[in-house]
Amino acid sequence: MPRTALLLSTTLLSTALLAAVLTPTASQAADDPAPVPVDRFEGEVPFASQPAEGIFTWGGDGDDPPALQLTARADAPEGEKVLTGAYDISGYGGFTHDFAADRPAHDWSARRGIRLWWEGQDSGKKIPFEIKDGGANGEASELWTTSFTDDFTGWKQVELPFTGFAYRTDYQPVGGIDHVLGLTGMWGYAVTLPVGVKGRFAMDDVELYGRADQALRAKVTTDAAVYPVREGGTATVSVTVATTGSAPLDEPVTVAYATTGGTADPGRDYTPVTGTLTFPAGTASGATRTVKVRTLRDTTGEPAETVPLQLTVTGAKAPAETPQVVVDANGLPYLDARSPVRKRVADLLSRMSLEEKAGQMTQAERGAVGEGADVTAYQLGSLLSGGGSTPTPNTPEAWAEMIDGFQLRALATRLQIPLIYGVDAVHGHNNLVGATIMPHNIGIGATRDPQLAQRTGAVTASEVRATGVPWDFAPCVCVSRDERWGRSYESFGEDPALVESMETVIQGLQGRADGRDLKNDDKVLATAKHFVGDGGTEYGSSTTGTYTIDQGVTKVTRQQLEAVHLAPYRTAVDRGIGTVMPSYSSLDVLGDGQGPVKMHARADMINGVLKGRMGFDGFVISDWNAVDQLPGDYPSRVRTAVNAGVDMMMVPYGYQDFASTLIGQVNAGQVSRKRIDDAVSRILTQKFRLGLFEHPYARTDNASKIGGAAHRAVARQAAAQSQVLLKNSGGVLPLRKTQKVYVAGSNADDLGNQTGGWTVTWQGASGTHTQGTTILDAMREDGDVTYSKDASAPTAGYDVGVVVVGETPYAEGVGDVGNGHSLQLSAADRAAVDRVCAAMKCAVLIVSGRPLLVGDRLGAIDALVASWLPGTEGDGVADVLYGKRPFTGRLPVTWPRSEAQLPINVGDTSYDPQFPYGWGLTTLAKTPTGGAATLRALGVAAAAAERAGSDRAGRALVARARLIVQQKVGADVTAAVAKPFADADHLSLTGRYAEAVRKLAEAYRAA
């Protein structure tokens, strides 16, 4: 599910208040002070970056930063030169003037605003303009934004009053400072240029103008925008006046208030109030007055009613919104928590208008709705945080406060249907800094431990719900069939039987299959994704940007579809999965005559198979903007997806268009009202099951457990059990505390590489961006360790070397092989391996989301470990390296010899990998011994266990047989060994223990 990191979106910025475009004389007051130059563009400011003062460009990719120069112009509004530039921006781009960070910030608080000369091109485009307020420097400040429209030709002076700037809610470079435009610590400005058009610009003479008035330095706020109150109760509205720098008021501020308008009847539903609040000159900043609005009780059940409190402010800036008192809905059957869910759903549905139903089917991105007024205006049913879409600061408290603020907006609607908020918590609450980050699914698959998988899900659910989020877009139950896929690590493995066995994670997230636990404060609604076949797309079939395999085409027979890709969804439905997300990819079922069809359009699969044959009773949520990938115009795309069975549309920034289009399609008879009612019923059912009507706000009792020792212990165990020992010549592992260990490699001391993509941001990042322990730090706790990242330090005098290499973070198709990625180690990693392994006994750990090709170096490597992406708890890796825990992990995917073999999977007719599916040596103190006779005896016992239905005994017998085979084979895995060995692991997962032992005996004979 692609997610932006909420970059400098001109679409969002264009919604800011438009600045007035005025001639200088139009706003010049007789007593205004002379303007103060900021930029004259005569060469006094260099093109440079922080910490020096300078102008610099930026953009979404290499082509997006504009080209800037100082140009001599005879028509320059001031001086001889102007700043000119050319641009052709596809993502985002612009330029910044940052003031020097080694000097004091500028004080603009005495001025009315900032103005500049702009050479208009009459493009009709909005030009966002930002100023940088507070913080340590220009790149660690608060961004405040406004814009002007290029709807003129030639030079014009554009005035941007500071009162017109708004705090950016879609993107801030740092944690929140004070959310107040102080103007006393200014660090510069930035201009964002139009996207999607090739153009040029010229500007000159940026300066501060005018004299600040108190309305700039003082503002009136209320403690909330919405005040829900039970019928008969009294709402208390706190009105506060605050000033820049917390100085006392220079002049009096008055606030006239009156209850007027709304849906409630004065005198019948509430007692009207009017009056004036006065804050005299000299009043301290932060002073508060209150207005009380008393509601009246009656005996009639009714929906919620609104009482706006109109505020007229003199002497200060008024609140951005008119506060509303909301008299809660009451006395209606759907509000009765004792009533069965189906009856509550039916009653609520019967009261809803088409517009309200369309709202429930609409999901927007939090960054698109600002403070949340559109949640009320469009009666939205859901919001989400995309990867990297987080509150400022990114803390549990800020998450809960943010979501409660949005929920408050939902409770201002007529029927007060709560929002359901969703996040991609795919390996822990990975958007949250400080959360417990688990190994990615490929590592969980390597543990072969369903109970542990369930525990990791439970930890994730607890941490997610404690921040106010009741819905997780996880788990991915894809079956990864090609390691070149950038989402390989999101899969538990290549064998559907392995994926099914790991779906215990659903119970960890949701609780019991009947949904009775969803209302608990440590459970969340889970999502099985991506329906169906996303792990089977053909290499080279993707048409999305530069992707090579992600979002491509899966070509399968009907039998392959059922056995490989649909099987995990049957299990998910049986486990009570609450939501399902279709795939971006297309499905081409050979022989059905349809050819490749986008999954969001496949009614035969969503309505027919998932909801019909499988009996799925949850709701289907689209992927991010997936409706836009369907053919046809927008109305046809909407009706196709909805009619195919998509119940809620994830339309992050297009929620207004979707809702209005859906309503239009229903009114035109293109989407039936019955279909709408089915979708909304499914959505409401899950909201009732989650207990959101009774507890809409965050329940933070478990917040203290986030990132705590108990949760990290689970992640540590998962990291340890996920480590797969592929080779161990001479018993190099486990290490001994007495050994002198030389550690090298790019991934030994990099928490970001260790956690991978989908960590804090969508793509993840190298470096330290959350709390955790690197593999190096953990090893230092256990032994005598020297570290040299590039292995340039002298290598003499060490007992053993540990080289930790692998990939840097990526997510989705960005990580596809052929899209800037390969399955080869980097040159630096290869050099580190070669240097260390030539000098001493060595163990190589590969930290990656998929197998990497190491066959050309395998002979020089004594021990090889697949570490996958172990998460924040590097201690788990050190635990097995130093023998605190034995290596027990097994390959969840086949480890290929070469890229030419791909795709290669268990069950293939031709199968000759470097290491087979299921391979994993152990460092158990007591390793089973024996030969052919022992294997025959194990086969007899396995058959008996199978007849008795004793899965535990059957698995234990197969495990003994597997270890005996591996002990004989060593690292010399031939095709004759690999195929029956891999087949045995699949057979064991499907309960055919006797046949599994027979296959292992075949591998033993071939060794």
* DSSP conformation class of 239: E
Sheet arrangement for strand 597-598: 553-556, 586-589, 597-598
Q: Report the DSSP beta bridge partners of residue 324.
A: 226, 308
d(C-alpha 147, C-alpha 192), whole Å = 9
Identified catalytic residue from 500, 522, 807, 812: 812
Cβ within 8 Å of residue 948, ≥6 positions away: none
d(C-alpha 893, C-alpha 903), whole Å = 11
* DSSP conformation class of 393: S
Specify whether 623 is catalytic.
yes
Do the Cβ atoms of 253 and 241 come closer than 8 Å? yes
d(C-alpha 682, C-alpha 973), whole Å = 51
Cβ within 8 Å of residue 121, ≥6 positions away: 150, 153, 199, 200, 201
User: b/e per residue, 791-822, with b = 16+ CB within 10 A?
Assistant: beeebeebbbbbbbbbbbbbbbbbbbbbbebe
Cβ within 8 Å of residue 653, ≥6 positions away: 9, 11, 12, 364, 365, 368
Q: Coil, helix or strand for 288?
A: strand
Cβ-in-10-Å burial (0-12, 13-18, 19+) of 69 comes to exposed
d(C-alpha 131, C-alpha 185), whole Å = 11
Q: Coil, helix or strand for 658?
A: helix
Do the Cβ atoms of 762 and 7 come closer than 8 Å? no
Measured in whole angstroms, how far is the alpha carbon of residue 914 from the centre of its chain? 35
Specify whether 946 is catalytic.
no
d(C-alpha 415, C-alpha 548), whole Å = 46
- Cis geometry, peptide bond prior to residue 475 (ω within 30 degrees of 0): yes
- Cis geometry, peptide bond prior to residue 696 (ω within 30 degrees of 0): no
Alpha carbons within 13 angstroms on the beta-carbon side of residue 954 total: 22
Identified catalytic residue from 463, 623, 875, 983: 623
Q: Coil, helix or strand for 390?
A: coil
Give the helix ranges, DSSP H, for 520-632.
558-560, 567-574, 603
Measured in whole angstroms, how far is the alpha carbon of residue 111 from the centre of its chain? 41
Give the end-to-end CA distance of the chain in Å, rounded to a whole number.
44
Cβ within 8 Å of residue 448, ≥6 positions away: 498, 501, 888, 889, 890
Do the Cβ atoms of 176 and 11 come closer than 8 Å? no
Nearest CA-CA partner of 689 in 581, 612, 578: 578
Do the Cβ atoms of 833 and 825 come closer than 8 Å? yes
Provide the token pair at 327: 């008299």
What does each C-alpha distance from 679 to 349, 357, 660, 688 come to in angstroms? 11, 9, 17, 15
* DSSP conformation class of 433: T
Give the helix ranges, DSSP H, for 390-540.
396-410, 441-447, 450-465, 496-502, 505-510
d(C-alpha 438, C-alpha 712), whole Å = 9
Q: In this structure, are strands 324-327 and 226-229 parallel, antiparallel, or unpaired?
A: parallel
Cβ-in-10-Å burial (0-12, 13-18, 19+) of 533 comes to buried
Indicate which residues carry an active-site annotation: 623, 812
